[in-house]
Structure 1
Amino acid sequence: MVHRIEIIEDRLVVGMKTRTSVLTIHEKTKQLAQSFMPKRREVLSRIGVHVFSIQDYGEDYSPANPNSEFDKWVGVEVENHSAIPEGMQSFIIASGTYAVFSFKGSVSEFPKQRAYIFQDWLPNSGYLLDQKAHFEILSEDYSKDLQNIEEEIWIPIKS
């Protein structure tokens, strides 16, 4: 699987979030996107047309517990947090090193991709998982054809 290593500065995001677990992530992400996407053009100082899907696991998250909750965000990148529309919040994707994987396929194939990253690639990469938010960069029309999606998966790593 093709990947690259990127070092980024802080990325500012404005969007909406919900609390979820791996058991409820699909339904809650759908609801979150349905709330955010029609309002995304209200966000001023937007950079580009891409959309972020962010998982902010936090220190208390336990991947072994399917009921363990984390924050799920859908948002857009901005130049600054000076004008945040009503019902939205700001988030900062922390600077650092990320492994970036390109994904093309159907939504149903996505879990297989994530399993490869965490069960095969990461243990053999020489890197450790960093305690920062994970995110995907999606095209603005991402949800129109869930059988034929393209996205970048960004995983925080450290040496």
Structure 2
Amino acid sequence: MIPRIETITERKLVGLCRTMSFAKFELVQLWQAFRPLRKSIENPVNSDAISLAIYQPEHFGHFDPNRSFEKWASVEVSDWENIPDGLEILWLPGGKYAVFQYKGSSTDTSIYQYIFGSWLPQSDFELDQRPHFEVLGSKYRNNDPESEEEIWIPIREKTK
């Protein structure tokens, strides 16, 4: 699977955040809490949802399933005016991303094993310290093998 390389400008997001780990993965609960609040967001840029993670710099150095990170259920908005009660804002910095078109169940982690175990080490890029995210568009169906989403991995040119 060959990703497209895309450079984006900064984006404004509104959503809910929860600190979790892979050992105590509470993604379902996060999205269950966000879904009813999403309807109150007045200025979404489109109908896509964004599942975003913010990892500490050492997160990928040595995998520890108990290491915590921030996980967001969010949408991109045109501005931060009239943010509904209970929701938070997040500024997504711009930068270069490897974008993988993924088709399959959201519970299948083999795509991430491929990205971090095969594609990234063999590419001309290294991981950059910015948020990782998935764009969940109209073809996204949670846990469905026919589901489609985009996986955005922050990258930069490898240092020589």
TM-score, scaled to structure 1: 0.91
What SS does the corresponding residue of 2:83 show, helix, strand or coil? Answer: coil
After TM superposition, the structure 1 = structure 2 runs for residues 15-94 of structure 1, keeping only pairs within 5 Å, are: 15-25=15-25, 28-59=26-57, 61=59, 63-94=62-93
SS at match of 1:156: strand
Which amino acid in the other structure matches residue 126 of structure 1?
D
Question: Over residues 88-116 of structure 1, what are the superposed CA-to-partner deviations in whole Å (9 max), with x where a residue is unaligned?
Answer: 1001111000000000012232x100110
Q: Give the superposition deviation at 1:139.
A: 2.0
Greater helix share, structure number: 1
Q: In the TM superposition, what is the alpha-carbon distance from 1:143 to its structure 2 partner?
A: 4.4
Residue from 124, 128, 140 that aligns with 1:130: 128
1:100-156 deviation per Cα after TM superposition (whole angstroms, max 9, x unaligned): 0000012232x1001100010000111010000000000257346633211000000
1-side partners of 2:87 and 2:138: how far apart? 18
Aligned to 2:116: 118
The corresponding residue for 2:154 is: 156
Distance in structure 2 (CA, Å) of the matches to 1:61 and 1:145: 26
One-letter identity of the residue aligned with 2:112: R
Structure 2: gaps of 5 or more residues: none
Structure 1 residue 30: deviation in Å?
Answer: 0.3
Deviates more, 1:118-127 or 1:146-155: 146-155
Secondary structure of the corresponding residue to residue 77 of structure 1:
strand
Question: What is the count of residue pairs matched by the alignment?
Answer: 156
Query: Among the aligned pairs, what percent are the same residue?
Result: 38
Task: For 1:115, give the aligned amino acid.
Answer: Q
1:29-55 Cα offsets, whole Å, 9 max, x none, are 100111111221211211000000001
8 Å CA contact 1:51–1:140 kept in 2: the answer is no
Give the secondary structure class of the aligned counterpart of 2:66. coil
Secondary structure of 1:80's counterpart equals coil
Q: Distance in 2 between matches of 1:91 and 1:75?
A: 9
Structure 1 unaligned regions, length at least 5: none
